[in-house]
Structure 1
Amino acid sequence: MINLVVRGDSGKAVARAEAGVDWMVGFPDLNAPEFPMLWALTPYGDAVFNQRQIPLLLAELDRIPAACGGEWVGQARELCQVVGRGTHLYLWFVGD
């Protein structure tokens, strides 16, 4: 399970999602050129998105295949807004 958290430069968590991403459901089949942000997710590593990458991530969330969706998508959108409103904030997808 991949967890979502917003962290500042200090590494301190300022927000987190309650739902996690089940990477095994649909993600291995994502097309890298079509979903470069989501394709970066792995079940055992971390992926970090900065303010400039958030619009790209949101665009991918708008067209994510149903197999990859779930409660986490709405929560990821909310966390993207937190990153967009702050400074020196990053959205982390934290693998196991």
Structure 2
Amino acid sequence: MINLQVRCEDGTIAVRAKHGVVWGPELAHLDQSVFPMLGHLLPYADTVFNSRQVTTLLAEVPRLPPGVVTDEFSRELLDLGRTVLDGQHLYLWFLGD
């Protein structure tokens, strides 16, 4: 399971997602040339995106094929991404198991 958080520059958790995403073949085999941000997620490691990267990430979410992530996770990902963009010194963290 990969969970999602927004953290401040000092590592303080600002927001936690209620839904995570299960690592599966659909997510593991995303074409990195089409999904450069989501295609770099790892199941057992943390991945951190800054606000510039989040802009690219948010453009990827609506283009995901059905079944890669749940609708709930997709909505929270978009909401937390917007939180990063609306704030200062915030980062979007994907937390692998």
Q: TM-score range by the shorter chain?
A: over 0.9
1:15-94 to structure 2, matched below 5 A, reads 15-70=15-70, 71-94=72-95
Q: SS of 2:37's equivalent?
A: helix
Task: Calculate percent identity across the aligned residue pairs.
Answer: 46
What's the CA shift for 1:80?
Answer: 0.5
Q: TM-score, normalised by structure 2?
A: 0.94
Q: Distance in 2 between matches of 1:30 and 1:42?
A: 12
SS of the equivalent of 1:69 reads coil
Which of structure 1's runs of 4+ aligned residues deviate more than 3 A? none
Secondary structure (helix, strand or coil) at the match of 2:31 reads: coil
Q: TM-score, normalised by structure 1?
A: 0.95
Indicate the RMSD between aligned Cα atoms, in angstroms.
0.9
User: 1:20 corresponds to which letter in structure 2?
Assistant: G
Check conservation: 1:25, 1:67, Cα contact below 8 A: no
Residue aligned with 1:5, SS:
strand
Distance 2:8 2:25 in 1: 29
- Unmatched runs of 5 consecutive residues or more in structure 2: none
Structure 1: where are the runs of 5+ without partners?
none
